[in-house]
Structure 1
Amino acid sequence: MKVQLIADSCFLFEFNGVRVLTDPWIGGAIYGGSWLQYPPPTIQAKDIGALDYIFISHIHEDHCDLKTLEKLDRNATVVLMDKKPNFVEKFLKYHSLKFKDIINLRPRVKFEAAPCLYFEVVEADPEHELNHILDSSLLIHFDSKTIYFANDNPPYPGLDQYLSQYNFELALLPPAGGSGYPACYQNLTDSEKLERAAQIIEKYQKQMLACLRRLKPRLFACAASSHVLAGRSAKLNGLMAWPKSAASPYKYLAGEVSKNDQFKPVLLNPGDQLELESEAGADYTSAIAFYENEYKRTQFINDVASNVLHGHEFIQLVPTVSFEYLMNLAFARLKGYLDAKNINLSWSYSIQIALGQYANISLSKPYTLEFSTKPCENNRLVIACDKNLLYLLLTGGFSWNIADASGFLSYHRFPDKYIFEVYIALNHLRI
């Protein structure tokens, strides 16, 4: 089995001539110009060549990029998890991306891709509502061995008993998340942001170690974390809860692993390829030295990423656009979601629609929308952003959770307490 890192979550696997590409995003800015891959890919999408299969875990652009897909081999079969609704399948059809076939796999059911080569998809953690709705992970079985391609989904404990039947040769796991917290929260000082970011990074790295101990792979590497914020958001890179160096998770693991932990890191930069059968794995000192890139990453942010323009900067809104009218329409949809889920939270959104003007939305019954010159005082999430972006958010041209991960939203949260349902519900505030 040959494994080649293209960039981020995009890997190329080759077994007995069968070539499988995962989560295609190769070069180019995504999320309205807010994310760039770092380290950048050394292979372009048009040069990938013949493909037999393309696995797409979910609809987010860092796993399903239109510009990349347009350049890939149309003779490939696309592999998806069977979901309803299936956002990726709808996306491919909407953009007339006609590949050889689309196969929707039911979770935990093996599909024979070729002799001695099987695919299997497993679901995301049901406790994480958004991931569970959207996401999936891929198992590649070959010669009585298995590769775990997690993308954004570390295997959750509920899978442990099922996964214990497999002999994992390689695990590709995420070492970080993608939230705008704490960088975009104006209720925190910069020193508080750095402290919270360090805590979140450590939490993810602990999770990664726990996953490795449960899976017990022979080899492992990080995936789904090789990006930086670009454009105006680039100034936030130093405050995001993402490691500032690709060596960070290996430094953490080096201080935590015991003699009972037999898994070893592999060394892969974009473009690098290895033969699993002959790969012995590296020690942590070598991995840290190999992945240490903080200085070059900072140079890339300053010289390249900072110069990218965001897509919403090019929008020209007519002066007659009424944000109160749009907010009323978007609130009607949000209210339907809150009713259907029977949500009753003692929290409110205060969304700045103009200078000194706020749309205050109560998430407790009866749900209300009021316009005021002041935001709500307590149990509030105050949100501000560029008016062009707000137009896109309310009309469905951009999603709230992606705007969050893009560093596009400015928050003031009081108290500084994370309520998962508050952020999930926000995605339904659109027409």
Structure 2
Amino acid sequence: MEKAVSKEAISVRYIYSACVITTTPDLSILHDPWFTEGIYDGSWFHFPKIENPLESIGDVDFIYVSHIHPDHYDSDFLKKYFEKYGVKKVLIANHLPNHLAGKMRADGIEPTILTEKLTIGKTTVEIIPQKTGSISDIDSAIIVKYQATNDKKHCVVNANDIIFDEEMRSQLKSVANEVDILLCGYTGAGPYPQTYFDTSNDKLLAEANNKKLAFFERYKTLVKTINAKVNIPFAGKYILGGKLVGLNDFRGVADPVEVLEFDEKAVVLADNGGEIDTDNLNPSRIRKEKYDEREKIKRIQEIQTMRMDYERLIAKEEIEQLPLKRLLFPASRNAVSKSECDENYYFCIRLPNEQVAVINANKNEPKFLTFFDKSAALPTPHSEIIIDPRYLFGLLTNVYHWNNAEVGSQYDTRRVPNSLNRKAQAFLNYLAI
């Protein structure tokens, strides 16, 4: 597909999930293309599936990657894209430490870290990193502006699934000023509540609904602050495959068309080509009805026999040979050295030998690892992690990453009490040698 030639405006063409293309008369930018199946170590799949994304997207000038999560940074697809259309500059945010830049270089992709506005012709591009002061900061937003010859200013903001606090919302509004089109998250794709309760637990569906409503409130707060002419709810579109298919109905993930019920400015662009521009804000190809449940069931049947990455890597017969207890000490020491948690919080992991490893995330506690008998009472507050030993081995040895494991619903958690401690949760990101 040839690159669209823009009129004196910014056009937004939707492909799938967080993937859009913004085009001005000066340049085109591909945002967050994810088209490799089985990301998050084998758990995430597409629905609906885009059959030929390379052709659908066509040639662009730049690629923007908002953050390191694999439904935004898909290195396999980027390499395929480069093979077809040539290597493009990949624009990313200026973080320190820059986890995304390090991962891209390890993958053989050289990023362009945008430290100031990029100006080409009458178009400016600015990436706003989310900075909370944590070493775990990864997210960003992008602002594309175009100054037309009639002095009309056009502006598109892609806020993606960035977690906005009041300061971040204000900063984004201050930089963007008057916004024509806002692309932003409306739902949450994390592990809660589907991996925090048994599927037979009556609380699960209620928690899933509460999560959905909480993300709607976050969406409302953001769109009120930005006050764009049109809001496009997008991103976070996936289904779980393999042995996790039974969790799909409990994720608390909304269909974006549900936003139409409470946001009169919202537009849901159709997959693989729905488009709108800042000139007249008249969308082509929109969606107003939820996806057909029969099609979703059909897709789940296609992916329910897929294996997780670790299931292909290590055979069950080898579990007893994994040196998990030996790996836990250096991994725990590494995590404590980077911990931002300043109170006792315990992660409890049951091992194949029936012991329980208890790790204290408190950065001020010198005794950070103990082993309990399986029948012993666990200290509180705690998160008990229920995980396949093969996957735990991969996480402790940095073959896999804890944050991907969490977002991918790859392990179960039982919290006592059932409340989130963000600093303690971030501790897990560094539980590796």
Normalising by structure 1, report the TM-score: 0.87
Deviation at 1:149, TM superposition (A): 0.6
Question: 1:393-414 CA distances to partner (integer Å, 9 max, x unpaired)?
Answer: 1111112222122111111211
What SS does the corresponding residue of 1:242 show, helix, strand or coil?
coil
What SS does the corresponding residue of 2:430 show, helix, strand or coil?
coil
Tell me which residue corresponds to 1:248.
258
Deviation at 1:189, TM superposition (A): 5.3
Matching of residues 280-429 of structure 1 within 5 Å: 280=282, 290-293=288-291, 295-296=293-294, 298-316=296-314, 318=318, 319-338=320-339, 341=340, 343-354=341-352, 356-364=354-362, 365-374=365-374, 376-429=378-431
Contact 2:94 2:113 in 1 (8 A): yes
Contact 1:359 1:371 in 2 (8 A): yes
Deviation at 1:43, TM superposition (A): 3.6
Matching of residues 48-87 of structure 1 within 5 Å: 48-72=57-81, 73-87=85-99
- Structure 2 unpaired stretches of 5+: 1-9, 148-152
Deviation at 1:162, TM superposition (A): 5.8
In 2, Cα distance between the equivalents of 1:236 and 1:155? 27
Q: Does 1:239 align with 2:241?
A: no
In 2, Cα distance between the equivalents of 1:76 and 1:169? 27
Tell me which residue corresponds to 1:260.
none
In 2, Cα distance between the equivalents of 1:175 and 1:266? 11
- Amino acid in structure 1 at the alignment position of 2:398: G
Contact 1:138 1:150 in 2 (8 A): yes
Task: Identify the match of residue 128 of structure 2 among 122, 128, 133.
Answer: 122
In 1, Cα distance between the equivalents of 2:161 and 2:326? 37
Paired residues, what number? Answer: 407
Contact 1:380 1:415 in 2 (8 A): yes
- Amino acid in structure 2 at the alignment position of 1:418: L
Distance 1:380 1:266, change over 3 A: closer
Distance 1:291 1:166, change over 3 A: farther
Deviation at 1:312, TM superposition (A): 0.8
RMSD: 2.5
What SS does the corresponding residue of 2:206 show, helix, strand or coil?
helix
Distance 1:119 1:149, change over 3 A: same
Deviation at 1:52, TM superposition (A): 0.8
Deviation at 1:150, TM superposition (A): 1.2
Deviation at 1:40, TM superposition (A): 2.0
Distance 1:125 1:235, change over 3 A: farther
Distance 1:105 1:161, change over 3 A: closer
In 2, Cα distance between the equivalents of 1:135 and 1:360? 31
Deviation at 1:117, TM superposition (A): 1.0
Q: Does 1:192 align with 2:203?
A: yes
Higher deviation after alignment, 224-233 or 318-327: 318-327
Contact 2:144 2:155 in 1 (8 A): yes
Contact 1:176 1:205 in 2 (8 A): yes
In 2, Cα distance between the equivalents of 1:85 and 1:368? 25
Tell me which residue corresponds to 2:3.
none
Distance 1:296 1:275, change over 3 A: farther
Deviation at 1:201, TM superposition (A): 1.0
Normalising by structure 2, report the TM-score: 0.86
Question: 1:5-59 CA distances to partner (integer Å, 9 max, x unpaired)?
Answer: 1211111122226221011212422111111122222442366332211111111
Q: Which runs of 4+ in 1 moved over 4 A?
A: none
Identity level (%): 20
Deviation at 1:86, TM superposition (A): 2.4
Contact 2:154 2:278 in 1 (8 A): no
- Amino acid in structure 1 at the alignment position of 2:370: E
- Amino acid in structure 1 at the alignment position of 2:371: F
In 2, Cα distance between the equivalents of 1:21 and 1:395? 34
Distance 1:403 1:383, change over 3 A: same
In 2, Cα distance between the equivalents of 1:54 and 1:61? 15
